[in-house]
Amino acid sequence: MSEAMWGGRFTKTVDEMVNEFQASINFDKRMYHEDIAGSIAHAIMLSKCGIISEDDCGAILAGLKDIEGQIEAGEFDFSVDLEDIHMNIEKRLTEAIGEAGGRLHTARSRNDQVALDTHMYVRRETVAVLREILNLQAALVETAKANQDVIMPGYTHLQRAQPILFAHHLLAYFGMLSRDFARFEGVYQRADIMPLGAGALAGTTFPIDRELVARQLNFQQIYGNSLDAVSDRDYIMEFLSAASILMVHLSRLSEETILWCSREFSFVELDDAHCTGSSMMPQKKNPDVSELVRGKTGRVVGHLMAMLATVKGLPLAYNKDLQEDKEGIFDAIDTVKFSLGVYAQLIRGMKVKKEVMRRAVAEDFSNATDLADYLVKKGMPFRQAHAVSGTAVHTCLEKGCYLQDMSLEEYKKLSELFEEDIYEAISPETCVANRNSLGGTSYAQAARQLAAAEELLAAENKLQEELAQKQI
């Protein structure tokens, strides 16, 4: 007979290569806290339902807490032969307290046990991701607030388009992160459903109390279908989807940061602590953090694709394929938390080159729309005004100057509607100030957006703290 804890019907031990191949302990051991917390709740429920004795329950709880202490002290030797975190802990528990340890697994399967652990782990790590999103949002608000009067070129097609406030640009990323926060809040809700009590797939013959376990572990909901409980990985796919979108946002910010700190743009300078040099070229200051975040985005997106492909053809209920859910989400969690944390530091540490940005908007044609708007406000149809403005740009290109360098006489040749006030109308400050429509880039609108961002941050912080307090 096999010596494995499930080996009663087997006459041979598992081949060593197969054992190594199917074991998950090397990565699922990070869920030891969730596994022990779930087992404690399960043991208490078994005792209260009269399924195990109070004495056995007491021995189990003491043994599990002792094992948790050993793991946290680095004194626990994990065994590949025991496959996973569940069997490693149960084996050590049985060795420590005897028969009582063998009663812990009554009325549960590793199928609903691993589902419980993963739900709890994803739930807890989602709260940690929310905290890191808040930290980066706060960094964006702080930097925007400190640079409220900085004007920069706004781009479409990576061509200078219209003058905007640097604060307005940063707050666009705040908006993206706010949607990320809401998505992860949704992930939390889908992870906050308790599967324990589903057994292997069909429930159990024992008179268990699933509501009691849910209350102990602070779950808001309980799966109503045992097949769904052990096979559902939607919350993992949702986490990876939300993580992928978040990383895409960080990748876009990375691309802009890389451009901004290049000599060609020179809009910002990154702190030395967030850059590296070249082993060959002494002058180099490389934006490695931004490049790595941009690169790691593909890794997280890959984990989402892998999980979708893994689940797409699985029949109900549990299949060993589902073990593949762990490594991808563990890596995605680590990557997202690191990327958010390091980016908050980068944003807080970068130096904004106000004069370089101001010079950039003075030496381009991003005020051409404002020249057209000037004529429209004096009664000219927009399409005609657009053509006049385009002609003015063409004239400047031929002369090697900019719109503010044209004389009033030259403007008059294009339209008698031009007056001396055209120069004020096309100054970068006026161009920005006049874009005062809701959500626009004006000084007043940027101030309004900052106030709204701070208000939202306070609400998000409150929610994150409430969720954090619910974790076991």
What are the angstrom distances between the C-alpha of 37 and each of 67, 245, 464? 12, 32, 22
Catalytic residues, by residue number, are 157, 278
Rounded distance between C-alpha atoms, residue 231 and residue 323, angstroms: 11
Q: Are 286 and 277 in contact (CB under 8 A)?
A: yes
The percent of the chain in helix, strand and coil, each rounded to the nearest 5, is 65, 5, 30
Rounded distance between C-alpha atoms, residue 299 and residue 286, angstroms: 22
Rounded distance between C-alpha atoms, residue 162 and residue 168, angstroms: 13
Residue that is written with structure tokens 């991003």 in the block:
366
Rounded distance between C-alpha atoms, residue 10 and residue 89, angstroms: 22
Structure tokens at 43: 């043991």
Rounded distance between C-alpha atoms, residue 95 and residue 87, angstroms: 12
Q: What is the CA radius of gyration of the chain?
A: 30
Q: Are 63 and 101 in contact (CB under 8 A)?
A: yes
Cα-Cα-Cα-Cα dihedral of 353, 358, 362, 367, to 10°? 120
Phi, psi of 161 (to 5 degrees): -120, -65
